[in-house]
Structure 1
């Protein structure tokens, strides 16, 4: 056998192995896991509970919130979270994360709509109440009027402070007009 002329001798393992994954590819994949883990640590506890995470990962995501950022301990813990993320279906988790973040946008938009309705009710009075009840017949006219009266009274006494009744009015409108 001629070693110099034998090209099979000089072939690398990845030349004929389809399952071979380079170290650079592995590192790129680990960075993706760590970045997703970082996004998860930025979520609130209620948002995390909406995701289908295994208990170990969930506990460590909550623990990461208690560790000071920009410390060696935080960096190591984020690496550990990245390691735990290897056992998770990334595509499914990203889809769930997208849904949770979208739900939060929907909640904030519903709150904004309820705030606008509250402002309209406080400024226009009974005409606005009648228009709102025509749009949403499930609303209780008496409760609306009572909350509006209390909110106007509280706001006339202390216009700079938030009114407890106005906040209750927003919560009531948001709950009853949600579809």
Structure 2
């Protein structure tokens, strides 16, 4: 007996309608994320001219409801005909750069607070992590911050210390 739908031969190529729909929705969502990006961030993503123009148009007509919706669908359709791996990778890196920067910022705040609270021991910990830092400058900023705190002056040296820590850490 022959089955009219013999999928055994085509198993590798068969994709359900549901899967096709999920893939299309994922491409649409990726297109939506791209439309939400600023021009500076979009420049960091590998897009061909046709896709870049479609995104720019969607950004310009954002307040035209029906036209914007159709343009987003068009972007989704364009995305389905492209390898979106590099686009997704670039988007992931953009999103994670922000998280990494926040984590570094918090780490530097902890170093600053430790230096202001513990002095030389915390300076040594920072120098172990960032050997390019200048011990003398760190100690000088620490002493200035202590002096300002004792005199109830604004903590300009503490802010200067943080700036220096950030400068050393982001080189």
With normalisation by structure 1, the TM-score equals: 0.62
Aligned pair count reads 160
- The alpha carbon displacement at 1:21 in A equals 8.4
Please give the residue correspondences for 1:21-170 in structure 2 after superposition, counting only pairs within 5 Å: 27-61=21-55, 64-65=58-59, 67-68=61-62, 71-148=65-142, 153=148, 156-158=152-154, 164-170=159-165
RMSD after superposition = 4.0
1:174 aligns with 2:158: no
- The alpha carbon displacement at 1:93 in A equals 3.0
Give the greater-gyration-radius structure (CA). Answer: 1
For the residue of structure 2 that corresponds to 1:53, the secondary structure is coil
For the residue of structure 2 that corresponds to 1:157, the secondary structure is coil
Question: For the Cα contact (< 8 Å) 1:150–1:165, is it kept in 2?
Answer: no
5+ residue gaps in structure 1?
1-10
For the residue of structure 2 that corresponds to 1:41, the secondary structure is helix
- The alpha carbon displacement at 1:89 in A equals 0.4
Over 3 Å counting, the alpha-carbon distance change for 1:68 and 1:111 in structure 2 is same
5+ residue gaps in structure 2?
none
With normalisation by structure 2, the TM-score equals: 0.64
